[in-house]
Amino acid sequence: MYTMLSGIVIAAAEKMPEANYSFKPTPDVRSFGQLVGHLADSQYFFCSSVVSETAPAGGIEKNKTSKADLVAALKEAVAYCSKTYAGMTDAKGSEMMKMMNYDFAKLTVLSANTAHDYEHYGNMVTYMRLKGIVPPTSEKSGAAAEK
C-alpha cells in the first residue's frame, strides 16, 4: 500500500506545474509546495521514529520552495521510508514504541504514516482540480482509453 501511495504522491508533485506550487485555495492553508514539503518531512518523522534514528533531513516544508527541490526532497524521503517498510517483519512490527506520549506498535506508526499520506494526497487532488489538472489517480490508462 505504501509503495503504491507514495508513487501517486510523487506523481502528483511532478504533475503540478511549478507556477502552482505557491497556490493556496485560502490564505490559511498550506500552499501546494508546502504540502509536498510537509509530506517529505513526515516520511522522515514517522520512519526514523520506527527505526530509532535521528531524522536525516528536516525543515523541507519551511526551507524549500522550488518544484525541483521539493520533488527531489520528496523522492529522497520516500526512498528513506521505503527501506523502513521493506525491513518490517511481524516481530519488529509488534514491538512497542513511544510517539507523542503514547505507546504504539511500530506497524501502527507506519500505518499512521500511510493514512497521513492519503490525507494529504486528498488535499493535493483538491488543489489540482481547482487548477484544472487531472490528478494521477483519475487519469485514464492507455488501455482503458482505447476501450
Dist. CA 93–CA 111, nearest whole Å: 10
Is the pLDDT at 123 greater than 80? The verdict is yes
Q: Note the pLDDT tens digit of each residue in 27-49.
A: 999 999 999 999 999 999 999 99
Dist. CA 130–CA 52, nearest whole Å: 39
Provide the 10 A C-beta neighbour count for residue 38.
Answer: 18
Dist. CA 60–CA 35, nearest whole Å: 10
| C-alpha cell at position 41 | 518531512
Is the pLDDT at 135 greater than 60? The verdict is yes
> How high is the pLDDT of residue 20?
98
Is the pLDDT at 132 greater than 50? The verdict is yes
Those residues with Cβ within 8 angstroms of residue 97's Cβ, 6 or more apart along the chain or in another chain: 49, 50, 52, 103, 104, 105, 106, 109
**101 or 142: which leads in pLDDT:** 101
Provide the 10 A C-beta neighbour count for residue 77.
Answer: 25
Structural domains of the chain sorted by starting position, each given as residue range(s) with its CATH number in brackets:
2-130 (1.20.120.450)
Beta-bridged to residue 51, according to DSSP, are none
Dist. CA 75–CA 110, nearest whole Å: 18
> How high is the pLDDT of residue 144?
46
- pTM reported for the whole predicted model: 0.92
Dist. CA 146–CA 131, nearest whole Å: 26
**144 or 26: which leads in pLDDT:** 26
Q: Which residue has the cell 511532478?
A: 14
